[in-house]
Amino acid sequence: MAGNTFGTLFRVTTWGESHGTALGAVIDGCPPGIDLTPEVIQQELERRRPGKGGATSPRQEPDKVEIMSGIFQPDGAACPKTTGTPISLVIFNKDAHSKSYSDLQEIFRPGHGDFSYQAKYGIRDHRGGGRASARETAARVAAGAVAKQLLNKYNISVLAYTVALGGIRAEERDLAVINENSLFCPDSAAAVRMEERIAEVREQGDTLGGIVEIRATCPAGLGEPVFDKLDGELARALMSIGAVKGVEIGAGFRAAVMLGSENNDPLTPDGFRSNNAGGILAGVSSGQELIMRVAVKPIPSIRKEQQTVNLRNEQVTIRVGGRHDISAIPRIIPVCEAMVRLVLADQLLRQQAMRGLQTF
């Protein structure tokens, strides 16, 4: 059973390979009557575009999205609206240089899915990583933009930013400055040092990892115990992004060294007095801000020489050329936001199915 559909009620199916004709997403379950234009999707795709930060490669992907179905502009409406039927989004691949990958046809790149995909499927579109390419996340971002339009109606907003890169940590959480540096870092001074570190490592032909933090406003009552708890769904959504190797909610791994009396968030008539829970109690949102962090591994495509094997299990060495970023950060940031939005849109409809709108 394949796994290219995300969500249960707000359901997104993505398709497409890195160097195929196109990639896309079909959203089934978006309620009718939501404003939707290509422009609002395009805006999110722009945030994922390369060249947005010092860590990114010079490849220029226009990534122009087309809405093939699911919207209709009634007479007198200011803009098209969703109709409750499936929304098909297509992004044609225009900048696909298959040739630069032909020498990788027989070699398993370390840290990539080449080896495991071959084991699983017995056949593999090797061009640019095929389906396993980070390019796949463009479809996620496009679908997330549709979820954003729905969440706006419920005043739910999601924001991701860089809190560590290449070993340098943001000490501040000044959200006002995250759009003032190319790494979307809430600590301007740290951002400067991160950029310096990137330049240094680029020189060496190596790559860097980091940590992204995500916050979201969220009404109380979302999450479906005992298996589809909100934290579980968020963990899955974020861990399904290629570069992510860890997810934590609220205090996260720090909770492992706290006492119960420190970790519990006391309640007062004015609300919670702390937020170690990250806005989730027993898998259900408490109405506090959701807080989560993801560990992003360094990009596996490096110019340095590496040891690996080929299809015939012979020892070979490889240097991965082509246009590659130094870090998945910052381009992973809109992807994290998109995945959190997809989870929240889905959980919102799930709660609405059970309770109607009265709890929000």
DSSP H/E element including 137? helix 137-152
In the complex with a copy of itself, the residue whose CB is nearer, 21 or 180, is: 21
Q: How far is the CB of 22 from a copy of itself (least distance, A)?
A: 5
Residue 151 phi, psi dihedral angles, 5° rounding: -65, -30
Smaller CB distance to a copy of itself: residue 180 or 232?
232
> Rounded distance, CA 257 to CA 343, Å?
29
In angstroms, the CA 180 to CA 72 distance is: 37
Residue 133 counted as an annotated binding residue: yes
> String of b and e for 128-161 (b: at least 16 CB within 10 Å)?
bbbbbbbbbbbbbbbbbbbbbbbbeebebebbbb
- For a copy of itself, the closer of residues 176 and 257 by Cβ is 257
Q: Is 131 annotated as a binding residue?
A: yes
Nearer to a copy of itself, 147 or 281 (CB): 281
Nearer to a copy of itself, 95 or 180 (CB): 95
> How far does Cα 113 stand from its chain's mean position?
18
Is position 120 annotated in a ligand binding site?
Answer: no
- Block residue for tokens 């089934």: 28
* 132 marked as binding residue: yes
**Are 215 and 173 contacting, i.e. CB atoms less than 8 angstroms apart?**
no
Would you say 264 and 272 are in contact if contact means Cβ atoms under 8 Å apart?
A: no
**Residue with smaller CB distance to a copy of itself, 176 or 269:** 269
Q: How far is the CB of 177 from a copy of itself (least distance, A)?
A: 21
Tokens (6 digits) for 346: 């889905």
CB of residue 306 to a copy of itself, shortest distance in Å: 6
Least Å distance between CB 169 and a copy of itself? 10
Q: Please tell me the distance from the alpha carbon of residue 55 to that of residue 243, in angstroms, as a whole number.
A: 15
| 301 is annotated as contributing to ligand binding | yes
Q: Is 237 annotated as a binding residue?
A: no
Give the HSE-up count for residue 22: Cα atoms under 13 Å, Cβ half-sphere. Answer: 10
Residue with tokens 């004709």: 21
Look at residue 213 and give its three-state secondary structure: strand
Q: Minimum CB separation from a copy of itself for residue 58, in Å? A: 19
Smaller CB separation from a copy of itself, 180 or 262: 262
Compute the radius of gyration of the chain from its Cα atoms: 21
Residue recorded with tokens 């463009």: 138
323 assigned binding-site residue: yes
CB of 179 to a copy of itself, least distance (A): 23
Considering the complex, what minimum distance in angstroms separates the CB of residue 101 from a copy of itself? 13
Binding-site residue set for NADP(+): 48
Binding-site residue set for FMN: 131-133, 282, 297-301, 323
